[in-house]
Amino acid sequence: MLINTPSIEQLSNVISQVTGPAFLLAAEAQLLAVLVSRLERIVDRSRMIAQTDASSTEYAHLQAELPILRKRGMLMHYAMYWGVASCIVTSVLVIVSFAAAYLHVRHEYGAGLLFAVAMALFTAALVAFARELQLGYVEIIGGPKPPQRPARKSYPHA
């Protein structure tokens, strides 16, 4: 059984239609590279804090950083998860576009839906990244404060 191959015009049309998703895929890959780099820095900082001597004068201050680093790591995990999901959906979009050309099937609605899903996932990754950047800014403006002992209440002496 021979497959009725698409004409060069049909293939040219599909190639021009997948250039948008191809650029999206490049942007997603670039974002993932940035996210991996930031996660590596968070892990390295956490390891450094874990290896700090408990008798050190800066120990309490460094320990106060750990909850923020954990939260930042979680946000990086989410951003990477949504970014990879966006890459997968974008790749499926390109595959579906070419498969539809070979099978002579209309794919506009499916392609549009896949592109919208890929963009929504990419946006979710960017939102998680923005939240991580916000937490990273805490370190720039002075970092977390070491835990304080609760103040004692003073009662007037009668």
Average pLDDT value for residue range 113-127: 94
Instruction: Return the CA Rg of the chain.
Output: 25
Segment 130-157 shows an average pLDDT of 71
Q: Which of 33-37, 63-67, 81-85 shows the lowest mean pLDDT across its residues?
A: 63-67
Please tell me the predicted confidence (pLDDT) of residue 64: 81
State the Cα–Cα distance between residues 50 and 46, nearest whole angstrom: 6
Which one is predicted more confidently, 129 or 63? 129
Q: Taking the model in full, what pTM does it have?
A: 0.75
What percent of the chain has pLDDT above 70? Answer: 87
Torsion of CA 55, 56, 61, 67, to 10 degrees: -60
